Each structure stands twice: as structure tokens, then as C-alpha cells.
A and B are shown apart, each in its own frame.
Chain A
Amino acid sequence: MKNTQYAIRNTVYLFLGVLLILAFAASMLNAPLMAAPQADIVSTFVSKALPVGDPLSPLWEQATPVDVPLSAQNIAKPLHLSPSVKSARLRSLHNGRNIAFLLEWDDPERNLGLGHDAYKDAAALQLPLDPGQPFVCMGIQGQGVNILHWRADFQNDVEGGFADIETLNPRLLANVYPHADDPAFMPARAASNPLSQREKLSPVEDLSAVGFGTLSAQVHNDAVGWGTWQDGRWQAVFARPLVTIDSNDAQLEPGMTTSVAVAVWDGAKKERDGMKAVSAWLALELEKAPPAEVVKAPPAEVEEAPLAEAAKPAPAEVVAPRPAGIGIFMIVVGAGLAAMGVGYILGRWRPSPGEHS
């Protein structure tokens, strides 16, 4: 009986010892404990400033493009069951500090959506707040999403100024607009509706949602980007810091796997709101930066960005390189110590004194 108890205890100790050695080895080799799911798209690490304002930059060649099939949003009314854009090409780069996506799609007509009867071209990338795949249609309560929304109308505002009535209806004649500067008579602007603001800094809106009808503009817009339309094709960059101080933003870090979903609107077809072409979730892996490279990531001021001023909060400094393996090592050691405790209790188990004699 006693021999059996010792045998159990020895087995436990042996197991724990092997586990410790394996954990140490794993941490030294920087190997993952579990196999990550196959990524649909990889954000490639580059140790350069990201082309956040240039969809045509040769740097994009370094990222592997992925063709993303798009289909109709067919859950929440209003529905638009045959959206005009059927697929989009997505690629991504990051430099350990910022991340940028380039989305390309065919659209024979450029629509700025200015004026009474016009609707804008637009596209959006959706990231889950917590890595994973919450409800793909705008998330749900408790599992929110962060949406980067590039808009042709906002870009036009940034580029050429807010289109006022004189631009929209040049033949319109009015003798006087009383109180023209009084915000009381521009209620949407006075209510801080981002659509109505004259001064736009970025063509990309930083939005939050926790389900249909909940889309809200964030107070801190951390998103920048730029779109170019030529030869019947939009190429739009979406960029933001990996880490922000905003709790409504998805927080990203090299090496992680999260998800991304794509939506595209064709203004010529009056697509807006839920009337859009959407993708399913794609697994997005942020390529791990070589530790030495992370330190070499360029400071924010040399980011090649015509809109650099738009990225309001300076991107958070990259934390001192800390190989993920050490974290794994700590977890395994912790688990090992806990198991040792259990083993010790097991080992202490003895038959009652009566049996012993």
C-alpha cells in the first residue's frame, strides 16, 4: 500500500520535472504553446514608416494581398441584396508601432456623395475589441467592434474643404442668410455630429458598435488614411497606431491573431448604412517583429504621412522588447508550481495509523 503511494508521488514529481524542462526549452526557443489558427491575412512587419497616405507606395508590394469575397448584408433592414462590389483585395503592413491596411476594389464611378441626391463611395474595416470573432454584423453587447470607415466625402472635405451650398448648388441665389455664423441654426454641427463638422482632419472615421443601429463616432479619432481612385478602381489606406489610449479601440500587438472584416459601399448604387457588401471574418495575424527590429521602428515624426497631424494622439511608445516566450515560461512555471502543490498534498496522503501497523 505504502509502495503504491510512493510510486504515485514519484510519477508526479517526474512529470513535473519534465514539464519544467520543456517549458524552459520552449521559452528559450520562443515556440508557441498551441498552434495558432491558420491566418487568412498576415500583416507584414516592415521596419519603415508606413505609407499611411499613399495607396500607390511600392512598400505595399511587401505585403501579401488577399482577395476577400463580399456579399450582401442580409440580416437587418434595409437590405440591398445585390451589392455592386463582389470582392476586394486586402493587404496589411505594420511596423511595431502603427498598422496600415490597403483595400482595393473596382468601382467604375467615383462618388463623393455631396448634394441632395448623391451618396458617397466608402469602405470599412471592422476589428473585434477582444481578439476573436464576435457577431460579424456590428458586434453585440459585451463583444463590441471597432470600425475604421474611409469615406469619399470626408476625404473631399480634407482635400478641398467642406462643400458648402455655393459649391453644391452654384446657381442658387439667396439675398441673405441671417445669423449665418450662429451654430444654433446648424443643429447637427452644434450637436457635434462628425458628418457636419467643417474641419475634417482624416478621411477615416474611428467608430464603435455593439450591434445594429449602435454605430457611434469615437471622441478620439485615431484613424488616418487616404483613398485614390483611378481607372475604375479605389485604393484606400486605413491606418492607426497598434496601441491607443482609447478603450473603444481594438488594441493590437505584433504576434497576435485577431480578426478583420471588410465592407464596401458603392455610392452610385445609393449604397449606405446596412445596404452594403460585406465579408465574413478573416483571421488576421500580425507578424511578429524580430526583437532587434522593434527597437529600430521609426519615431512618429518621420511617418510618411500627409495626414500625420491627423493621427491626434501620438502613437504609444513601443514597450521594451519582451519575448513572448518569457511570458509563456512564467505561465508554465506557475502551472508547474500549482501542480507541485497538488502533488505534495497527494504525496502526503497516508493510510490511517491502524492500517499502517
Chain B
Amino acid sequence: MPKVFNWHLNREMEYPYEEVRPEKQFCAVFNINRCVGCQTCSMACKATWTFSKGQEHEWWNNVETKPYGGYPQFWDRKILEKLGPQSWEGDTYAGDTIFEAAPEGEVALGYYPEQREWVYPNIYEDTPAAETWQPAVELPVHDVWMFYLQRTCNHCTYPGCLAACPRKAIYKREEDGIVLIDQERCRGYRKCVEACPYKKSMYRTTTRTSEKCIGCYPLNEQGILSRCMAACVGKIRLQGWLHAPDKAQEDNPFDYLVHFAKVALPLYPQLGTEPNLYYIPPRWAPREYLRQLFGPGVDAALEKYTDPDPILFGVLRLFGMTDRVIDSFQVTKEAAIGFDEAGRELVRVLLDEPMYIRPAYDARFDVHRFNEP
């Protein structure tokens, strides 16, 4: 089996195909700290792509409550249990990936969730884990805690689904790294559903093929954000193009967040697929749990996020401020500015928004103001 370099693991790993990186990689950063769990993203996706017969259980985008929630139910706990306890040595992963732990005769370690596991996408919504009966919400870590985890296809650099498809009906686009299932060639074997550790490949009974998130590539091709990204009410999402660490550009907001500031971390990097969705971890959740989800970079990321420098502060202001893909950015003393691929200004956000203080009593109309904006 060829050896490929997985920079999330800081080491080479086994993968059935050679290392080929796209010209640019579809990616997104989710700021978990800002998510209110409104599911507008889930509905935007559902209303665009998966509202037809046979897709009732398909939520290409979902938001689940951690630690108990999961769609399909307990997906992460199940694959972690199958993988067994693994360890990191510093920044290097010392355990096995799903490819290295593959059972004999299989390409990857995985399992096929039954239909009933897919039908409660928001099970355990808002259910917290608690160390105490008392209200305990003091930072740095709350004793009673939960948080929302935003999930879509990770458009992995080393996709489990692609590796497992015996028909090579799954491919990763050269131009943007989006992973697609060829609906003409798929024969519904469901090996991709088994092998995707994030369970973002889904079997559709009315076409007898598997389907998955297509990254809204028809929108991306026009420089427009995917539906789930653009619809985000809480402005927690930023979507664009990421480069590998050796090609990182400091003025690319994703390269900046992931490679320079290192505040955005991959979800379950130990699984080995090099996923391309990144998360700013929630400040209030137990560190040990976060390290299991996001790897060894959690502590440094939270430290940086808690006390952001002016550039990071500026980039964080750009989240959710435009429905166009921000290709590069600049932070001045007054504003954070996002530019498109042609270098045209897309959005300018003031770092300090002006504040107006009005007297509580307005003598002109003889009225009292009550917390007007």
C-alpha cells in the first residue's frame, strides 16, 4: 500500500492511493463558541439537496449536541471503540488510522449504521454532561457542559469512502478537492457508507445508490458560498480554500487560522483521512474531551483564541459577513477586509463598531427609551 503524508498526524500513513493534492482544497472553519444550534444550516441544505423520496434520513449538514448527540446515533463513539485506545507522542500520532487498523480483506475500519441509527438526527439535543448538580458555569471549564458540533462532509484529503469503493465510483476533484460519488457508476454496495468514519455517505433506497454532500460545487464554482455556510445565522462559518502547510499563504484566512494562528483544528484527526473542516473548540468544555475530538492542538488553540492578537481578531470578524468566498484578507487598524480571487474587495468589517449612547429620557417626545438598539 502506498505511503502518503498526513500533516494532521505529522507522519506518513498507509492509503490505497498515492498522495495527490488538489490545486486548492474546499475547506471551512466553524467557530463552535458562537453556534446557537438553530439548525438553519441543516434546513438550508435539506431544502436544497435532500428533500426527495428516499432522502428522508439524509442530512448532509447536521448539528449535533456533544457529548451525547450524534447523527447517525453514536457514530463517533462507535468508530472510536472499534479503533480502540490510541495515543499521540507530542504532535505526532502514534496510533493506528482507520486504514492501518483495517480488518483483513477490508480497505478501512468501519461499520454500516442501520436505518434506525439515522432517523433521530438531533437526538440528545441540548443534553449536557454534568459533574455536579449545582449550576456550574465558570470558565475555564464548566462543570455542566454541552456544545454544538457542526458537521458536513469533510471532503477529506484521504477519503475513507473513496478508498473503500470497489468500483472507483468516488473521486476527488482536482480543481477544488470536493469528493463526489458518480451517480452513474455507483452500484449501491454501501462500502463507502461503511468506510466513511464521519458517516457522511448515505444510502438512498429510491435510487439504490449512495449519496453525499457535494459541497454545493455549482455555487463554489461561481465564488458563492455553499448553502449551509451562507445561511448561518450565528455567523460561525467561514468557507474557502485551504493550502497544504508547505504552500500556506498568510493572507489566506484559512491558511492563517489553520497553519499560522493554529486556532482551528480538524475533527478526529486520528482517524487518518485528513478532514478539511476545521473547528475552533468551545472554551468551556473539558480539555480531555476536546483533545479526543480535535487532537493535541486544543490547548494552544484555546489559549490563542481566548486572547486573540489584532490579526486573529480581524479574521474572526469576517465570519458570516459575506456570501462570497473570501480568498485573501487584510487587517488594518480600523477594519478587516476580505477579497475575492481577483483581488476585489468583498467585505469590510470595522474592528470596533461605533457605539451611540442616548439619554434614557427623550424630551422631544416626552418618552422614555427602553434598550433600543
Contact surface of A with B, Cβ cutoff 8 Å? 76-81, 114-117, 153, 163-165, 168-169, 172, 174, 177-180, 185-193, 195-196, 212-213, 215-216, 272-274
Contacts and interface: CB of A to CB of B under 8 A. Distances in A.
Nearest to A176: B51
Contact of A114 (B182, B204, B205): B205
A195 B167 contact: no
A174 B53 CA distance: 9
Contact of A77 (B51, B106, B187): B106
Contact of A272 (B104, B185, B189): B189
Contacts of B166: 76-78, 212-213, 273-274
Contacts of B187: 195, 215, 273
Interface of B: 51-54, 56-57, 104-107, 112, 114-115, 118, 164, 166-168, 182-191, 203-209, 211
A136 to B, nearest CB: 17
B52 A193 contact: no
Given A76-B166, A272-B188, 11 more contacts: A77-B107, A117-B114, A163-B205, A165-B56, A174-B56, A185-B52, A187-B211, A188-B209, A193-B209, A195-B207, A196-B207
Contacts of B118: 116
Contacts of A212: 166
A277 B53 CA distance: 34
Main SS class of interface, B: loop
A331 to B, nearest CB: 43
B107 A180 contact: no
Contacts of B114: 116-117
Contact of A185 (B51, B185, B203): B51
Contacts of B57: 116
Contacts of B164: 78
A206 to B, nearest CB: 15
Given A78-B191, A213-B167, A177 B208 contact: no
A196 to B, nearest CB: 4
B207 A273 contact: no
B184 A191 contact: yes
A179 B209 contact: no
Contacts of A169: 56, 205
B202 to A, nearest CB: 9
Given A77-B166, A195-B207, A177 B53 contact: yes
A186 B50 CA distance: 10
Contacts of A80: 105
Contacts of A81: 105
A180 B52 CA distance: 7
Nearest to A72: B105
A212 B16 CA distance: 15
A116 B168 contact: no
A117 B209 contact: no
A88 to B, nearest CB: 22
B183 A187 contact: yes
What 8 pairs across the A-B complex have the smallest Cβ distances? Answer: A79-B105, A188-B207, A116-B115, A191-B184, A196-B207, A188-B183, A188-B209, A195-B208
A180 B183 contact: no
B167 A215 contact: yes
B54 A195 contact: no
Contacts of A153: 208
Contacts of A188: 183-184, 186, 204, 207-209
A283 to B, nearest CB: 29
B167 A115 contact: no
B205 A116 contact: yes
Contacts of B211: 187
Contacts of B107: 77-78
Contacts of B51: 177-179, 185
Nearest to B195: A78
